[in-house]
C-alpha cells in the first residue's frame, strides 16, 4: 500500500510540475507572440509589398502542387495559383499516379499538351511518365508520374522547377492573391540569409469562396471544424510566431511553404519515408546549416495567406491527428542526435526538448492522469477538494490561453468581421476544454501507438472541394471587394496623363471633357 | 493548497474576463473610430479635392484628430497623382509644418515611428524632405531604410541614385524595393548608374549593370561590353543579361566569347542574351552548349535556340544527338 501511495505521490508531483512547465511555456509564448505580431503589423505598413510586385528584381518562384486523386479541387487550385499577384512565377502540378480524373480535368480546363521536359537529377523520384504544358497558360506545367507519395511528388516538382525558389502548396489550399508576395517577403528582404519561409494556414470551412478566393471569412457550421479554428489560432499565432522569434521554427506547413531550391537540393529534398515530411525537411535544413556553421534563417510570416479545408468528421480528423503525431515522432527520432547539443543552438537546447516533452509524450502524461485519479480515489489517496480546485485552474488556464490567442487575432489581422462569429469563438474557446482537447490527446496517443506498431500510410482525406463547402449562390456580389488594408496604387504611368496633363483644369474650354485631378480621384 | 488553487482560479477567471472585455471594447472602439473617420472624410473631401486642383481653399478650423484624418487623406491622394496636383499637396504640408514635424520624427528612438515618418514624407510629396530621407538611408533599421528608399523614389530624387545603388549592393536595402525605386526615378537615374559601372566594389558594378539593363538604352552597351571581361563573374553575368535586354547587337561577338566562360551562370546569361539578340552566328555554339553543358546553361542555350530558329531547333531535336533540353525547347516553341 505504501508503495502505491509513494507512486501516486511521485506521479502527482511530476504531473503538477509538468502542468506548471507547460502552461508557463504557453504564457511565455503568448507574450513573445504578442510582441512579435505587433512589431510585424507596424512593419507591414512599410513592407514594400506593392513595390516588390512592381519590381523586376523580385526573385521568380516555381509553385509545386502535388496532386493525388484531387479531381474535386484541382482546377480551382490551379486557377488560384495562376491568379497570384507576383511578378514572375510558374505552376508545376505533379500528378502522383492519380486513379481518378485529375489529369483529365486539368487537360480539359487548361488545354494541356504533352512535351519533353528536362528534369534535374539532384533528387531521386519514382518514374516520370510524361510532362505537359498548357497552351492557354504557358507558365503551367503538369508532371505525370507513378505514385510515390506527396514527398516524392514534391521532389519531382523540385526537379522540374525552373526558378531558384520553390513554393510547396497543397491542392486543397486557397491562397490569398498576395500570399506569395507576403510569404516571399523575408526572402526578398534577405535573399542571402533566408532559406525557407512559411505562412499561416487558416480554416476555410464556412467561408465564402469564389474562383479560388476567400470573399467573406465566416466560421464553419460544423462544431468540429470550429474547434479547429481556435486550435489553429493557438498553433500559428502563438506557437509558430513564438518559435520563429526564437529562431527555432520546426515546422513550415506542407500546405504552403517557400524554400530556396538549392538549399532543399543540398539536403536531398523531401524524405519519402515519413508522414511528417514538412517538419522533417525543416529540421534537416536547420541541421545541415548548423553543422556547416552557415548563417541562415527560417522565417514564419503571420499574415493570413493560406486557407485550407479542415476535417468535419471524427473519423477523418482522428486519422489526421494520428498521422501528425506519427510524423512528429518520426522526425524527432530521425534527428535525436541533435537533442541537448549546444551546437544546434536554441533548436537543440530548447525546441527539440520541448517537442519531445510536451508535444510527443504530452498526451501520455495528460491521459494517464485520467486513469491514475480514479485509482487514487478508490484507494482513498485523493483529496477531492484539491482535485476539483486543480481541475478548475487547469480549465481556466486553457480558457485564458485560447482567449489570448483570439485576442491576438483581434488585435492583429481581425479577419472574422461578423460579431456573431467572435461570440461563437469565445464560446468554443471555453467549451473545447470539456472534451475536444481530451479527444485530440487520445488521437495523438493512438498516433504514438501507431509508431510503436510501425504503422505506415496516410489514410484518406476525402475532399469536398470549396464549391461544395460554400454555396456560391449566396455570394453577395453587390458587397464590393473583400476588405483590404492596402490602398490601391495607381502606377505613375496611369496617373500622370490623367492627373497632370490637365494641370488645374481651369484653362480648358467649356465643351471639353473636364479633367481636373479631383475628378480622377473621385473616380 | 486548496486556498492557493482557489486564488489562482479567481485570478485566471478575472484575467479571462478582462481579455473578453478588452476584445468587446476594442470592437466597439474600432467601429466608432471607423464611422468617425468616414464622416470626417466625407465632410472634408470637397476641400481636399479643391486643394488638389489648386483652388483657394479656406479650410474650416480642424480639431487635431480631424487634421490628422485630412492629412492622411491627402497623403493617400498624392500616391495616385503626379505633377502639379502633387505639388499642391506638398505646398499644403509644407505650409502647415507637417514636413518639419515628420523630419523631426525621423530622429525618434522608436523604430516604427522613424519608419512611419520616412514613409509619410514620400506621400507628402515635398522635395524639402530629400536631405533628411538621404540621411535615413543610413538608419540602423532596415524598415526605415526601405521606407526612405520608397519615399525618395516617389519624390523622384535623382540625387538618391548613388546611395540607393550602394545600399542595394551592400544589401542594406531590399533588392525589390531598391530596384523599384530606381525604375521610378527613371531617366535621371541612368546618368548616375553609368558612373557606377566603374565603381571599385564589384557588387555595386553588378547592381548598376543589372539596373541599366532595365532602364538603360542601347547606347549604354559600350561600357557593358567592357564589363564582360570583368574579374567578377556576377558582373559578367549581369552585363550579359543587360546587353540582351537592351538589344545591343554590337555585343554579339563578345557574348559568343562569353559562352566559353568558366562560370556556368555567365554562360547561361550569355546564351539568353544571344537569343534575345537573334544572333544566328552563335547557333553552333549554342547547340554545343545545349548538348554538353550543365543543366542551367544547357536550358538557357536551348531556349535561346528556340528564339533564334524554331524550325532548325525542331530538326536538331529530332536527331539522335538531340537531347532533352533541345526537345523541351522545341516542343514549347511549337506549342506556344
CB contact under 8 A, B332 and A115: yes
Confidence band for A516, pLDDT divided at 50, 70 and 90: low
Residue A513 has a pLDDT of 46
The reported pTM is: 0.84
**CA–CA separation, A231 and A237 (whole Å):** 10
Residue A259 within any structural domain of the chain = yes
Residue A413 has a pLDDT of 87
- For each of the domains in chain B, give its residue range(s) and CATH number, in order of start: 223-336 (1.25.10.10)
**CA–CA separation, B196 and B270 (whole Å):** 22
Copy the grid coordinates of residue A401. Answer: 490561453
| CB contact A505 to B (< 8 Å) | yes
CB contact under 8 A, B49 and A51: no
The complex's ipTM? 0.81
Residues of B in contact with A490 (CB under 8 A): 79-80
Residue A389 has a pLDDT of 83
CB contact under 8 A, A135 and B335: yes
Residue A514 has a pLDDT of 45
Copy the grid coordinates of residue A290. Answer: 548548423
CA A488, A494, A496, A498 torsion-angle sign:
negative
Nearest CA to A68 among A168, A153, A125?
A153
CB contact under 8 A, A46 and B147: yes
Residue A22 within any structural domain of the chain = yes
Per-residue DSSP letter, B111? H
Mean pLDDT of B289-300: 94
Indicate if the pLDDT at residue A510 is higher than 80. no
Residue A488 within any structural domain of the chain = no
Which tens digit of pLDDT belongs to each residue from A264-273?
Answer: 999 999 999 9
Provide the 3-class DSSP secondary structure of residue A149: coil
Would you put residue B60 in left (φ > 0), alpha (ψ -120 to 50) or beta? Answer: beta
Mean pLDDT of A416-443: 92
> Cell 460579431 appears where?
A419
By Cβ distance, the residue of B80, B115, B142 closest to A521 is B80
Residue A506 has a pLDDT of 37
CA distance A410 to chain B (A): 7
Site from B80, B169, B294, B323 to mutate, A interface, most A CB atoms within 10 angstroms: B80
Residue A436 within any structural domain of the chain = no
H or E element at residue A100: none
Residue A469 within any structural domain of the chain = yes
CB contact under 8 A, A500 and B85: yes
Least confident of A43-57, A157-171, A269-283, A482-496: A482-496
Which tens digit of pLDDT belongs to each residue from A430-472?
Answer: 999 999 999 999 999 999 999 988 776 655 555 555 544 444 3
Rg of the Cα trace of chain A? 25
CATH number for the domain spanning A473: value is: 3.90.550
Residues of A in contact with B23 (CB under 8 A): 403, 406-407, 410, 422, 426
Identify the closest residue of chain A to B55 by CA–CA distance.
A504
Residue A386 within any structural domain of the chain = no
Copy the grid coordinates of residue B239. Answer: 552585363
Indicate if the pLDDT at residue A511 is higher than 70. no
Residue A221 within any structural domain of the chain = yes
Provide the 3-class DSSP secondary structure of residue A148: coil
CA distance B85 to chain A (A): 7
> Cell 563578345 appears where?
B254
Site from A34, A37, A48, A405 to mutate, B interface, most B CB atoms within 10 angstroms: A48
Residue A458 has a pLDDT of 57
Residues of A in contact with B2 (CB under 8 A): 383, 385-386, 389
Strand A89-96 with A61-67, pairing: parallel
**Domains: count for chain A:** 1
Which tens digit of pLDDT belongs to each residue from A81-137?
Answer: 999 999 999 999 999 999 999 999 999 999 999 999 999 988 999 999 999 999 999
Identify the closest residue of chain B to A504 by CA–CA distance.
B53
**CA–CA separation, B193 and A144 (whole Å):** 47
Which tens digit of pLDDT belongs to each residue from B27-73?
Answer: 788 888 889 999 999 998 888 898 888 887 777 777 878 888 888 88
**CA–CA separation, B256 and B221 (whole Å):** 15
Which tens digit of pLDDT belongs to each residue from A377-409?
Answer: 788 777 888 888 888 888 888 999 999 999 888
Which tens digit of pLDDT belongs to each residue from B257-273?
Answer: 999 999 999 999 999 99
DSSP string of A154-197, one letter each residue: HHHHHHH--SSEEEEE-TT-EE-TTHHHHHHHHHHH-TTTEEEE
Which tens digit of pLDDT belongs to each residue from A167-217?
Answer: 999 988 889 888 999 999 899 888 889 999 998 999 999 998 877 788 899
**CA–CA separation, A390 and B5 (whole Å):** 6
Confidence band for A424, pLDDT divided at 50, 70 and 90: very high
Domain that holds residue A228: 18-46+173-362+459-477
Residue A508 within any structural domain of the chain = no
Amino acid at each position: 500500500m505504501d508503495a502505491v501511495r509513494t507512486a501516486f505521490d511521485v506521479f502527482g508531483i511530476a504531473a503538477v510540475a509538468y502542468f506548471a512547465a507547460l502552461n508557463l511555456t504557453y504564457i511565455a509564448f503568448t507574450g513573445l507572440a504578442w510582441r512579435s505580431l505587433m512589431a510585424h503589423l507596424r512593419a507591414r505598413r512599410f513592407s514594400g509589398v506593392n513595390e516588390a510586385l512592381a519590381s523586376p528584381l523580385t526573385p521568380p518562384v516555381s509553385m509545386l502542387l502535388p496532386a493525388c486523386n484531387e479531381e474535386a479541387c484541382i482546377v480551382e487550385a490551379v486557377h488560384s495559383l495562376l491568379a497570384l499577384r507576383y511578378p514572375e512565377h510558374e505552376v508545376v502540378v505533379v500528378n502522383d499516379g492519380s486513379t481518378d480524373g485529375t489529369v483529365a480535368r486539368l487537360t480539359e480546363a487548361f488545354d494541356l499538351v504533352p512535351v519533353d521536359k528536362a528534369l534535374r537529377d539532384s533528387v531521386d523520384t519514382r518514374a516520370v511518365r510524361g510532362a505537359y504544358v498548357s497552351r492557354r497558360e504557358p507558365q503551367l506545367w503538369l508532371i505525370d508520374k507513378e505514385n510515390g507519395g506527396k514527398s516524392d511528388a514534391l521532389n519531382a516538382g523540385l526537379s522540374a522547377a525552373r526558378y531558384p525558389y520553390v513554393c510547396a502548396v497543397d491542392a486543397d489550399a486557397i491562397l490569398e492573391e498576395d500570399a506569395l508576395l507576403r510569404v516571399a517577403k523575408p526572402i526578398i528582404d534577405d535573399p542571402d540569409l533566408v532559406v525557407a519561409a512559411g505562412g499561416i494556414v487558416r480554416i476555410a470551412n464556412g467561408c465564402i469562396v469564389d474562383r479560388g478566393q476567400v470573399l467573406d471569412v465566416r466560421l464553419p457550421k460544423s462544431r468540429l471544424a470550429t474547434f479547429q479554428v481556435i486550435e489553429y489560432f493557438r498553433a500559428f499565432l502563438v506557437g509558430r510566431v513564438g518559435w520563429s522569434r526564437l529562431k527555432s521554427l520546426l515546422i513550415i506547413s506542407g500546405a504552403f511553404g517557400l524554400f530556396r531550391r538549392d538549399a532543399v537540393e543540398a539536403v536531398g529534398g523531401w524524405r519519402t519515408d515519413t508522414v511528417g515530411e514538412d517538419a522533417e525537411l525543416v529540421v534537416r535544413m536547420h541541421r545541415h546549416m548548423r553543422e556547416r556553421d552557415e548563417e541562415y534563417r527560417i522565417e514564419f510570416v503571420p499574415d493570413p495567406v493560406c486557407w485550407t479545408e479542415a476535417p468535419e468528421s471524427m473519423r477523418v480528423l482522428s486519422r489526421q491527428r494520428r498521422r501528425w503525431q506519427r510524423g512528429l515522432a518520426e522526425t524527432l527520432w530521425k534527428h535525436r542526435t541533435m537533442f541537448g547539443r549546444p551546437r544546434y543552438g536554441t533548436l537543440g537546447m530548447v525546441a527539440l526538448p520541448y517537442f519531445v516533452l510536451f508535444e510527443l509524450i504530452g498526451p501520455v502524461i495528460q491521459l494517464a492522469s485520467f486513469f491514475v485519479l480514479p485509482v487514487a480515489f478508490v484507494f482513498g489517496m485523493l483529496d477531492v477538494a484539491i482535485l476539483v480546485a486543480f481541475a478548475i485552474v487547469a480549465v481556466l488556464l486553457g480558457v485564458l490561453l485560447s482567449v489570448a490567442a483570439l485576442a491576438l487575432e483581434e488585435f492583429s489581422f481581425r479577419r472574422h468581421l461578423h460579431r456573431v462569429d467572435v461570440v461563437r469563438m469565445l464560446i468554443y474557446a471555453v467549451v473545447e476544454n470539456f472534451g475536444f482537447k481530451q479527444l485530440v490527446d487520445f488521437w495523438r496517443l493512438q498516433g504514438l501507438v501507431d509508431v510503436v506498431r510501425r504503422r505506415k500510410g496516410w489514410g484518406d482525406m476525402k475532399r469536398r472541394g470549396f464549391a461544395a463547402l460554400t454555396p456560391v449562390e449566396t455570394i453577395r456580389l453587390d458587397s464590393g471587394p473583400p476588405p483590404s488594408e492596402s490602398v490601391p496604387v495607381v502606377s505613375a504611368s496611369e496617373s500622370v496623363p490623367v492627373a497632370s496633363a490637365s494641370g488645374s483644369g481651369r484653362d480648358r474650354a467649356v465643351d471639353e471633357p473636364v479633367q481636373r485631378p479631383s475628378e480622377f480621384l473621385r473616380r | 493548497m486548496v486556498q492557493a488553487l482557489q486564488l489562482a482560479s479567481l485570478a485566471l477567471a478575472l484575467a479571462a474576463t478582462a481579455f473578453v472585455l478588452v476584445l468587446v471594447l476594442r470592437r466597439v472602439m474600432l467601429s466608432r473610430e471607423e464611422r468617425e473617420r468616414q464622416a470626417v472624410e466625407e465632410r472634408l473631401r470637397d476641400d481636399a479635392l479643391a486643394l488638389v486642383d489648386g483652388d483657394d481653399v479656406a479650410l474650416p478650423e480642424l480639431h487635431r484628430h480631424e487634421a490628422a484624418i485630412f492629412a492622411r487623406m491627402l497623403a493617400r491622394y498624392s500616391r495616385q497623382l503626379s505633377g502639379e496636383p502633387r505639388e499642391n499637396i506638398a505646398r499644403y504640408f509644407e505650409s502647415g509644418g507637417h514636413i518639419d514635424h515628420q523630419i523631426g520624427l525621423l530622429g525618434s528612438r522608436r523604430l516604427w515611428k522613424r519608419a512611419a515618418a520616412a514613409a509619410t514624407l514620400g506621400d507628402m510629396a515635398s522635395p524639402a524632405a530629400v536631405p533628411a530621407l538621404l540621411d535615413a538611408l543610413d538608419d540602423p533599421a532596415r524598415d526605415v531604410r526601405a521606407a526612405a528608399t520608397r519615399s525618395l523614389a516617389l519624390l523622384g530624387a535623382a540625387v538618391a541614385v548613388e546611395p540607393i545603388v550602394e545600399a542595394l549592393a551592400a544589401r542594406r536595402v531590399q533588392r525589390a524595393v531598391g530596384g523599384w525605386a530606381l525604375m521610378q526615378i527613371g531617366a535621371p537615374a541612368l546618368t548616375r548608374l553609368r558612373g557606377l559601372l566603374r565603381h571599385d566594389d564589384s557588387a555595386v558594378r553588378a547592381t548598376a549593370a543589372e539596373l541599366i539593363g532595365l532602364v538603360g538604352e542601347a547606347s549604354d552597351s559600350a561600357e557593358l561590353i567592357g564589363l564582360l571581361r570583368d574579374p567578377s563573374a556576377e558582373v559578367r553575368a549581369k552585363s550579359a543579361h543587360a546587353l540582351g535586354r537592351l538589344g545591343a547587337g554590337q555585343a554579339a561577338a563578345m557574348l559568343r566569347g562569353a559562352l566559353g566562360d568558366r562560370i556556368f551562370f555567365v554562360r547561361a546569361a550569355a546564351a539568353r542574351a544571344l537569343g534575345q539578340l537573334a544572333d544566328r552566328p552563335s547557333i553552333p555554339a549554342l547547340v554545343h552548349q545545349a548538348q554538353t553543358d550543365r543543366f542551367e546553361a544547357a536550358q538557357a542555350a536551348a531556349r535561346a535556340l528556340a528564339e533564334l530558329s524554331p524550325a532548325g531547333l525542331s530538326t536538331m531535336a529530332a536527331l539522335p544527338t538531340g537531347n532533352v533540353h533541345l526537345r523541351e525547347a522545341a516542343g514549347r516553341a511549337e506549342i506556344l
